[in-house]
Amino acid sequence: MEIYLDVLVLENIVMNYLILLMTAKFSKNKTSHLRLFLAAFVGAIYVAFLVVYPSLDVYYTTITKIAISFAIVAIAFSFQRFTAFFKTMVMFYISTFIFAGAGFAFLYFNHSGGFIRDGFFYVYWNSKWTVMVLCVATVGIIVKIFWEIIQSRLVKDRLLLPLKIAFENGIINLSALVDTGNALFDPLTHSPVIVVEFNAIKSILPEEIQNIFEESKEDDLVRVTKIVSNSRWFSRFRIIPFTSLGKENGILIGFKPDYIEIGDKNERKGVTDVIVGIYNKALSKGENYNALLSPDLV
């Protein structure tokens, strides 16, 4: 059987990258596409090395494979605590098992598709890309189903959370609802948007922005744009379109805070890559909460 080294490296880079991308989604560990690619490349080179030098049995051992997986995760992600690294490693193995299970299933149902040797899949050329495409499609469906289950369980267990917003010299403490319907993103930076009541956050806003909401002129796009563009906080503010909250084709005035903190003192999470959208009505009739959080931020 002929093995094309360049094709082997390419397909392993693609699969490793997708596994790491899934790991990032599950662990909510932020990284860059470059780091994911470099980590995927390291994994692909390891497989290619084993194909070129099959006699080096030491590199087939479980310890070596675990060490390589540790290196791949360390390259792909940044860590400040060992617990975060351990959590990401667990997610990495779960993602790997999902992809491997999907690949094995297609090999099982298609006996001419390939074989497994020394812990690696070898797929014949005439069915290689078919198996890869079907594998990725299957994994996508599995991940979507399990992600929705995880998110629904998360919302059920942690429905209301303390929220702290820091902006300039002001800090506001709020109660936020984890809202699965909040899928707002800033169109400029693609950062998730937290929807907050104006009255709850009024004290830390610039005076000219307060005037817009007190006069109920937040839907006047021309006026809003003019006021925001002339403000010294111009670089911090955003105009965010939305089609929720009982209104279609609406806009939210948003701003980039210095940082936010989600959760109590026992489990607190800090976030800087986020936008706060200001809503000029009450979000809760019973005043149980005054902000809406996206599940992606929890």
Convert the pLDDT of each residue in 85-97 to its tens digit.
Answer: 888 888 888 888 8
181 shares a domain with 150: no
Q: Which pLDDT value is given to residue 154?
A: 53
Task: For residue range 189-242, list pLDDT tens digits in order.
Answer: 888 888 899 898 888 888 888 888 888 777 777 777 777 777 777 778 887 877
Final residue belonging to a domain, choices 115, 132, 157: 157
In the structure, what pLDDT confidence band is assigned to residue 150 with cuts at 50, 70 and 90? Answer: low
Just list the catalytic residues: 179
Q: Which two tokens stand for residue 172?
A: 């506001």
Final residue belonging to a domain, choices 122, 157, 192: 157
165 shares a domain with 152: no
Q: Are 278 and 228 in contact (CB under 8 A)?
A: no
Taking only Cα atoms into account, the Rg of the chain, rounded to an integer number of angstroms, comes to 24
In the structure, what pLDDT confidence band is assigned to residue 75 with cuts at 50, 70 and 90? Answer: very high
User: What average pLDDT does this structure show over 136-146?
Assistant: 65
Averaged confidence pLDDT in the chain: 76
Count structural domains, the chain: 2
Instruction: Tell me the sheet residues that pair with 170.
Output: 167
149 shares a domain with 101: yes
112: Cβ contacts below 8 Å, ≥ 6 apart? 124, 127
SS3 33: helix
88: Cβ contacts below 8 Å, ≥ 6 apart? 23, 27, 29, 73, 77, 79
Is the pTM here over 0.75, yes or no?
no
181 shares a domain with 97: no
Helix axes 82-109, 5-27, angle to 10 degrees: 130
